[in-house]
Structure 1
Amino acid sequence: MYTFSSELILRGLTDNLNLNVPLFLVFLFIYISSIVGNTGIIVTIWMDPALHTPMYFFVSQLAMLDLFYTSVITPNTLADINRKIKSISVIDCAIQFVLYGGSATTESYLLAVMAYDRFVAICQPLQYIMTMSKSICKYLVAAAYSAGYINVCIQACFTLRLNYLKDNIIDHFYCDILPIIKLTCSDTYLNEVVIFLFGGFASVICLSTILFSYINILVTILRIQSARGRSKAFSTCASHLTCLSIFYGTVMFTYLRPPSDYMLDNDKLHVNDKIISVFYAVVIPTINPLIYSLRNTEVKEAVRKIANKYNFFQIFKRSY
């Protein structure tokens, strides 16, 4: 990859200096909330034996993944908000792109695995323990990570083969593939095809698994005679369905459109892309633990038991 210098310049979120302090406070609040929420989910699942099931194993993996990939973006964004020149080295930009892109793609596969887990639990309950054993669960998570990072590494190789002699200003607040290829003076047709094919492949595999799982789940739920049984079966899927809708809605808007659209000098389009990217990279990792904690009775009960067990007010009283 050839550039004028060893550094790239990020345009950031906005050129309005009056918004720097409010943006910093908002991003800081969201990031702290993400750390607290995801860490809380991980610790709760780890401490409560009742949550040592395949479903919550995948939830804890999702929380760790959210915690990691928002940490790839948000701290650097917080540091850049008050900088006049938001520079990043070419190597750091490449690392950020691979880590963030790999984690985000892994999350799409992990959400599909979680849908399959719900399918086995509801549609094949007698085979659930054998089908979703500890070793198989670990294998599925490893496969999700492998598929996610292989996908982004291949795209990174095709991106780095281009010549970058146009300029070194990335019109974004982090290093993502579409803003990066906008800098090239090479023909990007092959890159567009690779992005579409690999993104399309991941989407087809994941969405097919999700649709297959939930169509069968819906059929099985409708066959349940008891209204209470139907409600219980649906409640185990409600949190996951909410996360799916939010995640894939933003992903499809951002990536499943012709990359050539991003090459257009359309300021309004780029502002919309940045807003969606903020939601996708920063807000979703904060929302997921809230969804799983507020809409899941088992998690709420586990949090209540842990809070009672480690009651700080009682500890404070005992010290006097």
Structure 2
Amino acid sequence: MGNHTTVTTFLLWGFSSFPELQNLLFVVILLSHVTILLANALIMSAIKLNHNLHTPMYFFLFALSFSETCTTMVILPRMLVDLLSENKDISLHECATQMFFFFGLGGNCFILSAMSYDRYTAIHNPLHYPILMTQKICFQLIMASGVVGFAVSLCIVIIIFNLSFCNSNIIQHFFCDIEPVVSLACNYTFYQKVILLAFTAFVLVGSFVLIMVSYVFIVTIVVKMPSARGRYKTFSTCSSHFTVVFIHYGFACFVYLRPKNSDSFRDDILLAMTYTILTPLLNPIIYSLRNKDMQTALRKDLGNIIKFFPKMINKRS
């Protein structure tokens, strides 16, 4: 490497590009983080406590909420600390660990694929649906999503952190994302770039193709239904999932699959906030607003919580 100095510590410098907004960003991100945790916790508890929600669709929704909760825990606490602290150092190993878990939990793309397959099975073969989508099969699909997600993530991390980093150690981002990190490498080749793009495309494009294939079959079945009311009812069962898919893939594909250069990192910071904060925030809202069973379960659980606190206060007094 000649006279290059090997880098062992990075600086997460993303929010330093917006010094005048750091206090406002801290408040917004903190409130968003708390809301994400509470909203997903409510959805998971509602699914767990209400037996009428013990169906494959809600089993996948539970897994999706859990995955997104874990994803935000990987990114947002560190963001909040960096906004308040002058020391934005992150070691090579910490950076690799953050990247591994962030992209590993990105296996929720395949959870969304499993959810679309579940909807197709329910619409295409409703009589055999309980046999085709047993709890065991649902669990296997969730586990497969996790294994694929973390396997791809491990390959990405191995490729990136076997590169040599020299001179600059400033990551122009608020977390260890692929492009801001590899832009600091001295020996990043076109071959490695193609491999990383292939892994990213496999997760995003591959899972999206599976979803679209399921929806093509769903639409084909639904348009053949003689009743307009039946068509509306069937489409409404898929509307929440399709809305989440549109938001999730729209932002993620734009960030990870479009051509980039170092000048685009500032734009990527703003776009990354959409899929690290906005998407996990919107998902529970979409599912609770557009699903009557979920609304009923949430009202019941919130009512029980409201009744619980006065009883506790009376006991203590």
Bin for the TM-score computed over the shorter chain:
over 0.9
Counterpart of 1:116? Answer: 117
CA contact (8 A) 1:9 1:168 kept: yes
* CA RMSD, Structure 1 to Structure 2 (Å): 2.0
- In the aligned structure 2, how far is the partner of 1:34 from the partner of 1:318? 28
**Which portions of structure 1, spanning 4 or more consecutive aligned residues, are displaced by more than 6 angstroms?**
none
Q: Equivalent residue for 2:88? A: 86
Paired residue secondary structure (2:14): coil
Supply the AA of the counterpart residue of 1:58. Answer: F
State how far apart, in whole Å, the 1-side matches of 2:217 and 2:257 are: 27
Change over 3 Å in CA distance of 1:282–1:3 after alignment to 2:
farther
Residue 83 of structure 1, CA deviation:
1.9
2:55 to 33, 53, 56: 53
TM-aligned CA distance change 1:313 to 1:47, over 3 Å: closer
The partner residue of 1:71 within 49, 60, 73 is 73
- Which secondary structure does the structure 2 equivalent of 1:225 belong to? coil
Question: Bigger CA drift: 152-161 or 114-123?
Answer: 152-161
Identity of aligned residues (%): 34
Alignment of 1:286-297 (within 5 A): 286-297=281-292
Deviates more, 1:217-226 or 1:233-242: 217-226
Q: Any conservation in 1 of the 2:39–2:284 contact (CA below 8 Å)?
A: yes
Tell me which residue corresponds to 1:274: 269
- Describe the shift of the 1:3–1:159 C-alpha distance in structure 2 as closer, same or farther (beyond 3 A): farther
Deviation at 1:13, TM superposition (A): 2.0
Q: CA deviation at 1:136?
A: 0.6
**Counterpart Cα distance in 2 of 1:121 and 1:45:** 19
Mapped to 1, the partners of 2:243 and 2:268 lie a distance apart of 22
Deviation track 1:191-231 (CA, whole Å, cap 9, x = no partner) reads 21112212222334312211111111112222222232222
Pairs within 5 Å for 1:161-176? 161-176=162-177
* Deviation at residue 66 of structure 1 after TM alignment: 0.4
Gaps of 5+ in 1: none
Shift of 1:6: 3.2
Give the TM-score normalised by the residue count of structure 2.
0.93
Identify the range of structure 1 (54-63 vs 201-210) with the bigger mean alpha-carbon deviation: 201-210
Whether the 8 Å CA contact 2:68–2:280 is kept in 1: the answer is yes
Structure 2: 5+ residue runs without aligned partners? Answer: none
Residues 318 and 6 of structure 1, relative CA distance in 2, 3 Å threshold: closer
Shift of residue 163 of structure 1? Answer: 1.1
Query: What TM-score does the superposition give when structure 1 sets the normalisation length?
Result: 0.92
CA deviations on 1:132-179 (whole Å, 9 max, x unpaired) are 111110000000001111111111111122111132111110001111
Which stretch of structure 1 is more off in the superposition, 60-69 or 229-238? 229-238
Q: Report if the CA contact (8 A) 1:108-1:206 is conserved.
A: yes
C-alpha contact (below 8 Å) 2:8/2:91 kept by paired residues: yes
- How big is the shift at 1:287? 1.0
- Aligned pairs for 1:1-320 within 5 A: 4-104=6-106, 106-258=107-259, 261=260, 264-266=261-263, 269-312=264-307, 315=310, 319=314
